[in-house]
């Protein structure tokens, strides 16, 4: 029989404890290292407090009631804080607060890209950045890789850190300004207040949190601005001028139909997208034509569904091949026209203000308006439409929604609306007219809002006749309109007949 003394038992237990300690040591060291890394990142994440007051597009000389909100941001090189544009949009006062510091410091916007929902702010207080480490920009993680989300969500005052997995990368409609750019999707919990906080992997910024899943149809799904978009904005900010993302000025549809492909001269194995619209005065005006088939953009093959491959695991919209270019850089297109394979190089230029007759939602802008004969005239844009509330698609007048589906052109870039009539003798007979589109002034077509204002200021006729394509007319005596202006402004407590700068041109 084998017998073991107490001494041997003690030595064996000691040996086992030593082996266990050795095995546990790497885990403990890893945990300590991870905790040290998280602690360093925590000091680089700040809370942002914003007081903002949006313009009231129903009465464009006024502001809506100011509101307070908060978000998050990350310290980067150059004594800058990277955050979301929607965190500081229409801001009248901004403050930044460091981790574990009760004091708030006044901040200001240095650069903003509403299109990419990104902003750079800074704090001028001496020494604010002296004890903060600037984080660097890393590469986009691979699908199913784990990431950490840092921020200050509602429900508490301290910094929150959540974990998630990168589940998808593709083009998404950004909620802030409606732009269509590359976005990453993660399953980490994202709530109000997280906006602008960093998505981190290996101590580097690999994204900026921008929005949670809309509509409540899915839980724990959020989206972030990926490194390629962040890098583009940082490069754009260097000269202080926001050039934005280029747009070549053409629109396409998918080419999934075999019959349609044969009709356009594509051979077996060819793939591409069909050009359905080329905008005048755009970079591809005179290069591409309607019914051309675009096969390749800057070395990216375009699939029939309009996607391109950005790596072995990810595909996204071909727009990404254009988004990667800066304004002024060349972009090469390969396309088929009537069976012939053609190649052309165009220069990337700034996107037009709007390719639709209705411009998208704008921020940090003073609304344009003019008052003539007691009638408030404004340009039609999404800011105005959104004043009908979250259910604007049903609540807004149908005639104001229809132009959203029409292309703009050099002959007609914008829609003018007679928004409301401020009752006075000069406009008798029209007191109940509102939300009325003006297509012509004295029979001449209106190109855009500023052209409309010049038509009024340059008028020499006795009467001004406003009319639309349906034939309805509104007639105002020009001299009476001018003479009654001061009295109408005083009666309705309106500070000026025109928005600032409208008559400068």
Where are the alpha helices (H) located in 237-370, listed in sequence order?
A: 258-263, 319-323
The H-or-E segment that residue 76 falls in is strand 67-76
- DSSP β-ladder status, 180-186 and 444-445: unpaired
| Chain length of the chain | 505
Task: Give phi and psi for 62, each to the nearest 5.
Answer: -120, 165
The H-or-E segment that residue 377 falls in is strand 375-379
Question: 367 with 57: CB under 8 angstroms?
Answer: yes
Count each helix (H run) and each strand (E run) in the chain, helices first.
Answer: 10, 28
Q: How many other CB atoms are found less than 10 A from the CB of residue 178?
A: 12
Sign of CA dihedral 304, 305, 308, 313: negative
Instruction: Give the separation between CA 366 and CA 500, rounded to whole angstroms.
Output: 8
Which residues, including other chains, have CB under 8 Å from residue 213's CB and lie 6 or more apart?
219, 221, 222, 223
Instruction: Give the separation between CA 175 and CA 225, rounded to whole angstroms.
Output: 12
Q: How far is CA 18 from the centre of its chain?
A: 58
Q: How many other CB atoms are found less than 10 A from the CB of residue 484?
A: 19
Question: 233 with 103: CB under 8 angstroms?
Answer: no
Question: 34 with 363: CB under 8 angstroms?
Answer: no
Instruction: Give the separation between CA 109 and CA 95, rounded to whole angstroms.
Output: 11
Which residues, including other chains, have CB under 8 Å from residue 203's CB and lie 6 or more apart?
37, 40, 41, 135
**DSSP 3-state assignment of 304?**
coil
Q: Which residues are catalytic?
A: 86, 117, 195
Instruction: Give the separation between CA 150 and CA 160, rounded to whole angstroms.
Output: 6
Which residues, including other chains, have CB under 8 Å from residue 177's CB and lie 6 or more apart?
85, 114, 115, 117, 360, 361, 363
Q: How far is CA 267 from the centre of its chain?
A: 39
Burial class (CB in 10 A: 0-12, 13-18, 19+), 265: middle
Instruction: Give the separation between CA 144 and CA 166, rounded to whole angstroms.
Output: 5
């Amino acid at each position: 029989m084998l017998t073991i003394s107490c001494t041997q038992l003690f030595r064996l237990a000691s040996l086992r404890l030593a082996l266990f300690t050795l095995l546990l040591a790497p885990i403990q060291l890893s945990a300590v290292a991870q905790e040290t890394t998280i602690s360093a990142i925590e000091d680089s994440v700040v809370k942002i407090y914003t007081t903002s007051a949006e313009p009231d597009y129903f009465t464009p000389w006024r502001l809506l009631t100011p509101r307070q909100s908060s978000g998050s941001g990350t310290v980067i090189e150059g004594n800058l804080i990277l955050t979301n544009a929607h965190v500081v949009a229409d801001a009248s006062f901004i403050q930044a607060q460091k981790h574990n510091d009760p004091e708030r410091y006044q901040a200001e916007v240095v650069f903003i890209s509403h299109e990419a929902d990104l902003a750079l702010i800074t704090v001028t207080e001496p020494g604010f950045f002296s004890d903060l480490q600037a984080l660097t920009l890393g590469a986009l993680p691979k699908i199913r890789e784990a990431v950490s989300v840092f921020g200050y969500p509602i429900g508490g005052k301290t910094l929150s850190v959540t974990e998630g997995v990168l589940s998808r990368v593709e083009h998404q409609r950004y909620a802030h300004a409606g732009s269509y750019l590359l976005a990453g999707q993660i399953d980490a919990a994202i709530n109000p207040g997280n906006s602008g906080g960093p998505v981190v992997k290996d101590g580097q910024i690999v994204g900026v949190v921008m929005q949670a899943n809309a509509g409540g149809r899915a839980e724990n799904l959020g989206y972030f601005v990926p490194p390629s978009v962040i890098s583009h904005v940082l490069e754009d900010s260097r000269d202080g001028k926001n050039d934005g993302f280029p747009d070549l000025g053409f629109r396409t549809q998918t080419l999934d139909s075999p019959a349609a492909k044969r009709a356009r001269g594509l051979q077996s194995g060819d793939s591409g997208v069909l050009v359905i619209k080329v905008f005048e005065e755009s970079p591809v005006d005179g290069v591409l034509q309607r019914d051309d088939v675009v096969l390749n953009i800057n070395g990216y093959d375009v699939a029939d569904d309009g996607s391109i491959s950005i790596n072995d695991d990810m595909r996204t919209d071909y727009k990404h091949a254009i988004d990667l270019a800066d304004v002024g850089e060349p972009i090469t297109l390969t396309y088929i026209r009537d069976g012939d394979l053609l190649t052309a190089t165009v220069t990337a230029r700034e996107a037009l203000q709007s390719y639709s007759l209705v411009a998208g939602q704008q921020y940090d802008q003073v609304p344009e308006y003019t008052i003539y004969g007691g009638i408030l005239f404004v340009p039609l844009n999404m800011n105005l439409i959104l004043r009908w509330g979250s259910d604007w698609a049903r609540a807004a007048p149908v005639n104001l929604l229809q132009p959203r589906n029409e292309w703009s052109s050099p002959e007609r870039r914008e829609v003018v609306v007679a928004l409301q009539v401020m009752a006075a003798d000069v406009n008798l007979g029209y007191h109940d007219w509102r939300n009325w589109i003006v297509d012509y002034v004295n029979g001449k077509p209106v190109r855009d809002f500023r052209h409309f204002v010049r038509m009024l200021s340059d008028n020499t006729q006795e009467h001004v006749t406003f009319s639309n394509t349906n034939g309805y007319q509104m007639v105002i005596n020009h001299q009476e309109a001018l003479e009654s202006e001061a009295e109408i402004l005083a009666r309705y407590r309106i500070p000026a007949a025109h928005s600032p700068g409208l008559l400068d041109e």
